[in-house]
Structure 1
Amino acid sequence: MSSSDRKMTEDETGDLKGSKKKQKKGDGWRSEGPKDPIAMLNSLPEKKQQEIQRALHLFSLGQGLPRTLQQARKHKYQFWETQPVPRLDGTGDGAVTHGPITDGEVSVREEPYSLPKGFSWDTLDLSNPTVLKELCGLLNENYMEDDDNTIRFDFSLEYLALKPPNWVDQWHCGVRVDSNQKLVGFIAAVPADILIYETEKRLVQVKLLCVHKKLRLKRMTPVLIRELTRRVNRQGLYQAVYTTVNMLPTPLSSCRYWNRSLNPRKLIEVNHPGAMQNMNLRRAVKFNRLPEVTKTPGLRPATNEDLAGIQSVLQESLCNFDLSPLMSLQEVEHWLLPRKNVIDTYVVEGNDGTLTGVVSFYSIFSRVLNHPVHTGLRAAHLLYIASTATDLADLMEDTLVLAKSKGFDVFSAFDVMDNCSFLEKLKFSVSDVSLHYYLYNWMCPTMSSDKVMNLPLPVFKDLHTEKKKGFSY
């Protein structure tokens, strides 16, 4: 066991001993009811829960990670300084411009990393509906919330597409409480082939990282990352790609988050960041008006017969980007074939039957808390848009029309790929939140956001809701 792991275990064991002493002392007056702190919180009225969570958020703001490179250079990254990632001063452990920072280990640790007393590892069986439901519960209550605690992300069983071709069950790594088997932590990765400049690399894409909000000060996040790294290394892979709004050592690229209102009345009423704050309702409705019907000839929903054509259109776009996924036909089917409430993909078919364009967006559902009228929000997030014949702005405008007709309230996108060619033109508004791309154990020059192609289904970076994460790395 490493010294950091041993210290964490000792600290958390001490916490557990202290809590046991208090429990014995208070047994004489304690009323019957749930004794688990998490259960006690959940037993409170929802309004009271929100007050407590808002207070926790205000506390976590002082402990959050830096948001800019200038702040990051003054910050001590207790965990990441031990990892094979580029340093914030531009140097790294590797001696080459492109390539691994450290070579693959000769031997990989066989035993799992130690957890605090009272917790244990569990490889989640995501083919089990009960386990899936349990995971959704953990994510919905702990993954993301907005800053004023009024909007909470709502995962669905259909969305957790964590079993793409060549998936590995050991990479679905959970943490449970021994006493009641409650799931309190989860991290997942999926295999991916990525083009990094001219290098094709098989690595993993980290998809989800979630720790119960009551355990975030216990430094469980670094242990989750170490354990997933160990399990990936056991399969002979030593590189990873991941994204986060937090500034860590060191971003490969950074992009901004943009919103386009489709239902301005609702966005204003729930105070969504996608609403124009300087507009009254009447002006906002007029400003965001869209055509009633699409205008691109041959635009239609994608089908199974379109998979090869979609793959061809996307591959033709690869030469324009320095970071892009390389998807097999099976992966195109897994990530892009339309699925209700998960992903919508449309193609543009030319007169000769060949595909000349593709556009896809995935669904983000959020619960609206404590509102007298609205209970939920539907957001569409752009994944891919590519065309060899249709102007991208025209194709994107048609996509907005389609999304609005399907009941979405807001459309969001990153300023990656060629998206900047239409974002302002189609009245998207830029947010103050950035998403950063990172490579683990790989050194290469940084790149601008227009040289980055979206990774398949980057598991919900509904970024206005993720700013509050209070992890300590």
Structure 2
Amino acid sequence: MSEESKPVKGKGKEKDKEKEKEKAAKKLHRAIDGLSKDQVSQLLDLNPALANELGSGSNDDPNAVSEALRRLNLQDIMTGLASSGKNVKDMGAYKFWQTQPVPKFGEDDPNKPVEEGPIRNQTVDEIDKEPAPLLGGFEWSTIDLLDDSQLKEVWELLNGHYVEDDEAMFRFNYSSSILKWAMMPPGWKKEWHRGVRATQSRKLVGFIAAIPVELRIRDKVLRASEVNFLCIHKKLRSKRLAPVLIKEITRLCNLEGVFQAIYTGGIVLPRPVSTCRYYHRAINWQKLYEVGFSPLPPNSKPQFQIRKYAVPERVSIRGLREMQKKDVGAVQDLLTRYLAKYDMAAEFNKEEVEHWLLHHKKDALEEQVVWTYVVEDEHKKITDFISFYCLESSIIGPSKHSNVKAAYLFYYATETGLATPTDKEALKTRLNALVSDTLVYCKQYKFDVYNALSLMDNGLFLEDQKFGPGDGQLHYYLFNYRANPIAGGVDKKNRLDTENLSGIGKTQI
């Protein structure tokens, strides 16, 4: 019987779990004991939710903070939230990242800017031409997403073993359409879709993907990769396959002369360049309440919440319409000028704008992934656009509903935000109108919730449009590139910072 198909006996399961917890706690305490005072301070600065849980600030006694950290469990440290979640990450991950070209906790003076640039310089000739060997019983596999059967394998792995919430109530449910959209943009490379198979059964048990991106960090443009969809079969998490997959995707990118990467995660690793917070706007509040996503506030009633999150019946902006192929050039020009405001953003050519923002209705078999709306003035000029994409979450436990259909705010741009000097109040008014109108479309297309991060200029409308702060954070990381911190739209207490808006203009799927 292959390793991944062995049944789990019920009797010794709890004892095994307790042993795992004890091991994790010992590792955690050793890691905490090894942190310097500066490292403890930086860990809290980069994770405001964790600081809130501890009731601590960076000026507190580091010894007291370390002792408080020791009292938390492994998940608390890694996510910054006091919860007993299912996505427990091994503190040993820090040992791996110590070997990688990433900024380390405590290595820089937080009060002094660093010189930005690559951490390690290499040439393609120095890169291994063959992958590192895997544990016995496993082998490397390049995944061809043009092959429907292999695409289905990736879909099955992600939908069974990818990101869950802390209470294991919801799990991302990526459709085959969104997987192709996310992993096959212009310039995509089949070799950058890398899997691990069990040799005997041929079952796909691990996966990681990368796509090319022109990434601008302040005034420098990097030919980089965007790494995503790292997933390991749950029964193989103890095999330490994640570091091996990360090294392999690094090797494959390096062979193409790509030595920098961007990636995101909900856990704190060495070392985020920015941290954003998730915000959620209920559309179908009754359903969200029934599945446990939205609580009923004290002293409230369901009908009050339904009324609170009511959506307008029609849009308000004159000239707002669905994006068409003829708009690609104008949208690309507007987006390029708008993203130039931010410290970190991608640079898109016309082909990429068409891929990421335009739904081709002629592909009748492809379900719609992205919706984009433009505003055309009386002179036929595109003055604004706004977009969102669909990502469902499966409901894991017993429920009358099987899924939550979520819209995620994607890219937007408006000429109102490009005036010199910027009229912040006018921009706030315009963005509120645009987002309010997309709510109308979200309701029309039966979305249950609208999600957004505290990036871009989102701080100008999130509260006005009744987006509530979520538990989750999204940390942005750069591989083999040292950069000074970039504002993520929240302050050190993890509250929306409407005065100092985010410098992040790069959204992640």
TM-score when normalising by structure 1: 0.81
Could you say what secondary structure the match of 2:128 adopts? coil
Work out the CA distance in 1 between the residues paired with 2:454 and 2:4: 39
Question: Contact 2:291/2:399 (CA < 8 Å) preserved in 1?
Answer: no
Tell me which residue corresponds to 1:184: 205
Match of 2:455? 416
Matches within 5 A, 1:19-38: 35-36=1-2, 38=4
CA distance in 2, matches of 1:131, 1:277: 45
Q: Distance in 2 between matches of 1:146 and 1:432?
A: 10
Structure 1 partner of 2:79: 67
Aligned match for 1:151, one of 157, 162, 170: 170
Choose the corresponding residue for 2:476, options 401, 420, 437. 437
CA offsets, 1:345-371, max 9 Å, x none? 111111111111111111011222343
Residue 316 of structure 1 deviates from its aligned partner by 1.5
Q: Match for residue 159 of structure 2? A: 140
Contact 1:66 1:75 in 2 (8 A): no
Per-residue deviation, residues 320-345 of structure 1 (Å, max 9, x unmatched): 10000100101111111126431111
Q: CA deviation at 1:116?
A: 0.3
- Aligned residue type for 2:304: R
Structure 2 residue 136 is matched with structure 1 residue 104: no
- Structure 1 contact 261–275 (Cα < 8 Å) conserved: no
Identify the residue that residue 469 of structure 1 maps to in structure 2: none
Does structure 2 conserve the Cα–Cα contact (< 8 Å) formed by 1:158 and 1:342? yes
Q: Does 1:375 align with 2:402?
A: yes
Would the aligned equivalents of 2:114 and 2:484 in 1 still touch at CA under 8 Å?
A: no
Aligned to 1:470: none
Query: Measured at CA, do residues 38 and 108 of structure 1 come closer, stay the same or move farther in structure 2, by a change above 3 Å?
Result: closer
| Alpha-carbon distance in 2 for matches of 1:241, 1:327 | 16
For residues 113 and 36 of structure 1, what CA distance do their matches in structure 2 show? Answer: 22
Q: Taking structure 1 as reference, are residues 78 and 153 closer, same or farther at Cα in structure 2, changes over 3 Å only?
A: same
Letter of the 1:454 counterpart? K
**Pairwise CA distance, 1:37:** 5.3
Within a 5 Å distance, the mapping from 1:318-337 to structure 2 comes to: 318-337=339-358
Partner deviation per Cα, 1:202-245 (whole Å, 9 max, x = no partner): 10000210011111111110000001111111111110001101
CA distance in 1, matches of 2:202, 2:137: 10
1:66 Cα deviation (Å)?
2.3
Partner of 1:453: 505
Q: What residue is the counterpart of 2:435 in the other structure?
A: 396
- Report deviation, 1:152: 2.5
Instruction: Specify the code of the residue in structure 2 equivalent to 1:421.
Output: L
How many equivalent residue pairs?
A: 408
1:24 paired residue number: none
Match of 1:239 among 241, 260, 267: 260
Match for residue 45 of structure 2?
A: none
What do you get for the CA RMSD once the two structures are aligned?
2.6
Alignment correspondent of 1:462: none
Q: Residue 206 of structure 1 aligns with which residue?
A: 227
Q: Which residue does the alignment assign to 1:406? A: 445
Deviation at 1:150, TM superposition (A): 2.9
Tell me the equivalent position of 2:323: 302
Identify if the C-alpha distance between structure 1 residues 282 and 37 changes in structure 2 by more than 3 Å, giving closer, same or farther: farther
How many angstroms does 1:311 deviate by?
A: 0.5
Q: What residue identity is the alignment partner of 2:249?
A: L
Corresponding residue for residue 89 of structure 1: 106
Deviation at 1:151, TM superposition (A): 2.2
SS in 2 for 1:393: helix
Q: What SS does the aligned partner of 1:214 have?
A: helix
In terms of mean alpha carbon deviation, does 361-370 or 109-118 score higher? Answer: 361-370
Range that drifts further, 137-146 or 97-106: 97-106
Letter in 1 for 2:468: S
SS at match of 1:202: strand
Match of 1:263 among 278, 284, 301: 284
Distance 1:317 1:296 in 2: 20
Q: Aligned to 2:383, which of 356, 365, 388?
A: 356
Contact 1:383-1:454 within 8 A present in 2 as well = no
1:272-305 superposed Cα distances (whole Å, 9 cap, x missing partner): 1x45544431110111112110111111111111
Describe the SS at the equivalent of 1:442: coil
2:357 counterpart of 1:344: no
The amino acid of 2:369's aligned partner reads V
Measured in 2, the distance between the counterparts of 1:248 and 1:149 equals 22
Contact 2:2 / 2:200 at 8 angstroms: preserved in 1? Answer: no
| Structure 1 unaligned residues grouped into runs of 5+ | 1-34, 460-473
Note closer, same or farther for the CA distance 1:38–1:384 as it changes in structure 2 (3 Å cut).
same
User: Per the alignment, in what secondary structure is the counterpart of residue 77 of structure 1?
Assistant: helix
Q: CA contact under 8 A between 1:336 and 1:360: conserved in structure 2?
A: yes
8 Å CA contact 2:139, 2:198 repeated in 1:
yes
The question of whether the paired residues in 2 share the 8 Å contact of 1:194 and 1:202 is answered with yes
Output the TM-score relative to the length of structure 2.
0.76
The whole-number CA distance in structure 2 between the counterparts of 1:310 and 1:163 is 21
Q: Using a 3 Å threshold, how does the CA distance of structure 1 residues 306 and 430 change in structure 2: closer, same or farther?
A: same
SS at match of 2:78: coil
The one-letter amino acid paired with 1:67 is: T
Mapped to 2, the partners of 1:399 and 1:284 lie a distance apart of 20
SS in 1 for 2:95: coil
Structure 2 CA distance for aligned equivalents of residues 405 and 442 of structure 1 = 43
Q: CA deviation at 1:40?
A: 5.2
